[in-house]
Amino acid sequence: MNIILLGPPGAGKGTQAKVLVNDHGVVQLSTGDMLRSAVASGSELGQEAKAVMDAGKLMPDNIMIEIISARIAEPDCANGFILDGFPRTTAQAEALDKMLEQKGLPLDHVIEISVNDPVLIDRIKARVAETPEAERRDDDNAETLKHRLDVYHEQTAPILPYYETRGMLKKVDGMQPIADVSKQIGAIISAG
């Protein structure tokens, strides 16, 4: 089972991906986590990613497409994967379609976790307040979030009609409690 979770920063994609990993034995492919590992390793990619992430911008499509293509080819993805944070642009969505077709892999569900901006801003503020400074994400601050939301609306939201016109997009209300969002996603998956 291969699933894309779409939604703005702070919508709960990572949280819901972890629930799906637990319930369905699939792997979570978070491009944000991959880039954070690269930053931690101090690699050349990591140095570029740090500057881009701190500014709340997006990494170039070709780099992200290459990273995901290599990751999907790894054996642990054979049981299925949850894409969390990819695709983030229409170019990435088109490249993903081609990649899946070439590898003969299906795309089973595209699920949008919908949350409006004021709720996201409150959530990120709460996350900053609750997380000790050493564990805080460098891009979790009010200033960067504003850029990340602008980037979401300008570059990522146009993916929604891309999947909608293909009859693939399902939407869940991400402003409900975490367990209720998981139930909504579970219902979409059980409906097949």
Residues that bind ligand AMP (CB under 6 A): 9, 31-32, 35, 52-53, 56-59, 64, 85-86, 88, 92, 139, 148
CB of 53 to ligand AMP, least distance (A): 4
Q: Between 128 and 183, name the residue whose CB sits nearer to ligand AMP.
A: 128
Q: Which residues touch 130 (CB under 8 Å, ≥6 apart)?
A: none
- The whole-angstrom separation of Cα 99 and Cα 61 is 14
Q: Active-site residue 137, yes or no?
A: yes
Amino acid at 117: D
Is residue 13 annotated as a catalytic residue, yes or no? Answer: yes
Tell me the C-alpha distance between 47 and 151, whole Å: 21
Residue 18 beta carbon to ligand AMP: minimum distance, rounded to whole angstroms: 13
Decide if 36 is catalytic: no
Helices (H), the chain: 13-24, 31-41, 44-54, 61-72, 90-103, 117-130, 142-151, 159-164, 178-191
Of 26 and 84, CB closest to ligand AMP: 84
Q: How far is the CB of 175 from ligand AMP (least distance, A)?
A: 18
Q: Which residues are catalytic?
A: 13, 88, 127, 137, 148
